[in-house]
Structure formats: C-alpha cells, structure tokens
Structure 1
Amino acid sequence: MQLGHCRFSIDKGELTNQETGVVWHLPRAELHVLTLLVEYQGKVVAKPLLESGHEDDSHLSSASVARAIFTLRSFLGPQYETLIETVKGQGYLLRHHRARKESNNKLGPLFIRPLQALLVVIAVVSVSLASLWWFNQVGHSISPTMPLSIDTVSLNSGQQVDVILYSASNTNNELLIGQGQQLAQSISGCAETVWNKAFLSLSHDKQVLNITLRGDYLGQSIIRNLKISDLRQPKKFINSAWLEQVNICDSLPVRLASSHRSQGR
C-alpha cells in the first residue's frame, strides 16, 4: 500500500522509502498500529483497539502506541506525517492519500474562469484552516504522554544527544533510570554520531527494554528501533557486548532495521 513516498508491505512487515531506498523492518508495536490504521483507513481507530496487541494476547501500553505513532510519522517525513491524524479523545485516523493530477487547462493561469479562481481561493483557505486545526490537535495529544526524564549528553565534538525515558508510572523506575544512565554514558564516549535523540521504555513485565534512536543523515530523518529481552535477575539489558554489536556511535547507517536480542534466563 502506498503511503506518501513510502510503500507498506503487510506480508513482509516493511515500510520502504521509495525515494531513498531505505527499508524499515517494523517492530511489533509499529507493525500492529500501522496494520490497523490501514485496515480501517479513513475511519478513527480507537486507542483501546490499538492497545489490544497481537493474536498472542500481548498488550501494548498507551506510551507504546504513542511512540509507535511518533516513529511512523517520523519515517513518513514532514511532507506526509499528517497522513496519520490524531483525533482528540478517540484515537488515530489514516487519511486517504491521492497523487496530484496534471492540470488539463491549456489556456494558462491568465484565462482561469472566475468560478475556478473562487474555488482555488476556497481550497487554499480550507487547507490553511485544516493545518491550524491539526497542529492544535497534535499539541493537545502530546501533553498526556510526558517523558519521565530527559538527559542531554554532550559529545567532545559539541554535539548533543537527548536520552528520553518514558514510563507509564512515576514510581518504581530504578531499572529504567539505570539503563538510561548506562546508555547516556556510552553515547558520551562517541566522537560523533548521527543520532540526536534516544527514547527508552520498559515493557509492562519489565523483561523487554525498548530503545528508539532518531537522527538525521544526509538531510533525511532516520530512526532505528532496538529491543533487548533479559529474563535474568538482576537484569543487565545494556552491556559492553550489546553496545559493540549495535555500534551505538555508528555515523554511517546504510539500512534501518529493528533488532531484538534475548539474553540469558
């Protein structure tokens, strides 16, 4: 299915930017959310349905759904991020995207009839009002999902990276805070990196750490999703072996992909 300049393959679980060739293997939450939005395209998908999870009865938190919407919009880019509309107090809606048609008017703009000119003015005003309404809706939709903390890391090059923690609760977040501090310490050792934001959250059972990296490369907004499972006690999601594997300082990403690693029982 075509979404702006991206192509969504439900069977492969991939979202491909056809202009840059970048392929994003959608993580579980993003794939579930986008599949439902496509299935009900043009209709509002209620938040409880988006949070219902998959056929294995797993459940997504409201923060996971909000983060999935954020990363999907980021991949679609500024030109097409408004295809996913926030409907305040209800859920989200995927707009129908139509390619622009070539004008059949051979007489040129100087010969447009008065009625056509009036329709053009009405269309411009309508788009402006719709854009204003959308930005107002986005502003309201973001406020309920506030981050637990934001830690800004400064590299030797002067570059700054924000490490942002999200949690459904304001209590008992020692594990998440500790992992955020470890990631921040690792990023601080980078000479440079394409990433400027790192989002962290724990699954409801605290056995999976979700990390989303966001940055810019050659003028394009890029994202990378990472998941680490650890069934041990005490848990050590982030360690030297994992950091070496994902190459957190990588400054030349060629292909965006989600990775999932399970650690010992």
Structure 2
Amino acid sequence: MQIGCCWFDINQSTLSNQSNDTSWKMAKVEFAVLELLVRFRDQVLSKEQLLQQIPQEHRTQAKLQEAIERLRFFLGEESAQLLEAIDDQGFILHTRMKSSVKRTISGPLASMTKQKYGLLIAQLVLLIILIHSFFDPSESIKPVNEHQIVTSSGIVSYYPVSNSGEPAGELENLSRFFVQQIEACERVLWDDIFVSLTHNQRVISIVLKREVKGKTEVKNVKGISPDTSKGYIDQTWLKRSGICG
C-alpha cells in the first residue's frame, strides 16, 4: 500500500522509502500502529485505540509516541505530513498530501490541512462569541442560539456553534444528546458552554466559561470519536473533562 513516497508491505512487515531506496523491517510496535492507521485510513483514531493494537508488554503512551515519531522520520519530511496528530488526543493517516491542493493563502496558513483549518475557524467563532460576552454585556448579541439548561446546581447557558461544511442536523442531534447528559450531572462547574462539531463530525470542540471571584475563566475541551457516534460523552467523560463535578 502506498503512503506518500513509501510502500507499506503488510505481509512482509516492511516499509520501503522509494525516494531514497531504503527499506525498514518494522518492529512489532511500529507495525501494529501503522497497520491500524492504514486499515482506518482518513479516520481519526484515538490514542486508546492505537494502544490496544500494541503488544501488551509495550502498551504505554511513551512507546506509542516513539512509534509515531519513528514512522514520521522514515516517511520523510514531506510524506510525514500524511500522519497528523489531532489535538494531542489521536492520529489520522491521510490518503492524499494536503500540500498538493491549490491554495490562495500564503504565510503560516498555507501549510495548514483542511481539518486544522476547519477547527481553527470553529475556534475563532467561539472566541468572537466569548469576546462579545466579556466586553459588551449590555448588548443583546446572540450570534448563536442560546439554550438555558436547568440543572441541580443552577442554570447553565448552552450555545451550539455551527461550522461551515458540517450538516446542521448533526449539530442539532449532538446538542440534544449533549444537553441530556448535562442535565443528568449532579453539579455543572461552568456558567456557559459553547460546542462546535468539526473533522467530519468526529471532533467536538467545547469552550467553557465561568466567573470566579470576579475573574473570568475559560477552558477548551475536545472530544474525539473514531466514527460519528457520540456515545463516549457520558457522566464519566464529563467529570474527567472537568465539565461536571
């Protein structure tokens, strides 16, 4: 299977770089990681999924990161861009080089992938909303639909933020499910929750805001799913992410 300038032979457990005519007989860890990424190409895989693929005696975050770095090193500077980290939570192996797409953007954004660009736009929208709420409280500006969630610890404002390229219906489905989970929390730790959906409905970006002793606190949380399901968003995940207590 072709991966940029390299050929991955699954049967022989080898990765051959055709640009410098070198071949690598892969160790078990690197082979296991690449084999799973190839099997689910163009899909985001969480670190937990990749760790489960690694032999048990090597199943550590350090070994996984080391394997990713070795794979990128052998792929070379250009082809290594195909193996992308997603917000320090998972990885995706792209089929095509993003740099081959014609761009009209120059500067630092020119090397940005489509996924990262979409996520950046979503986060900028969230930031604009937050700036309005910080510095212009007298204005009744509602760039997104506000929902009041009644919880046992008080009222929480929830804002679903639409992202260009993502179906509106998917955000509505996510909102209904997310609100149900928030309502079930014993205690919600934040006053305002902004949620957007990116990366082909697989990455959820959440911005949290609250007032503590006259100061505004903001926190960013991301959730990754290997598919479009949102079942991982439960009470355990909400508490681990610091959204609920």
Normalised by the shorter chain, which TM-score bucket?
0.3 to 0.5
Q: How high is the TM-score relative to the length of structure 1? A: 0.41
Q: How high is the TM-score relative to the length of structure 2? A: 0.44
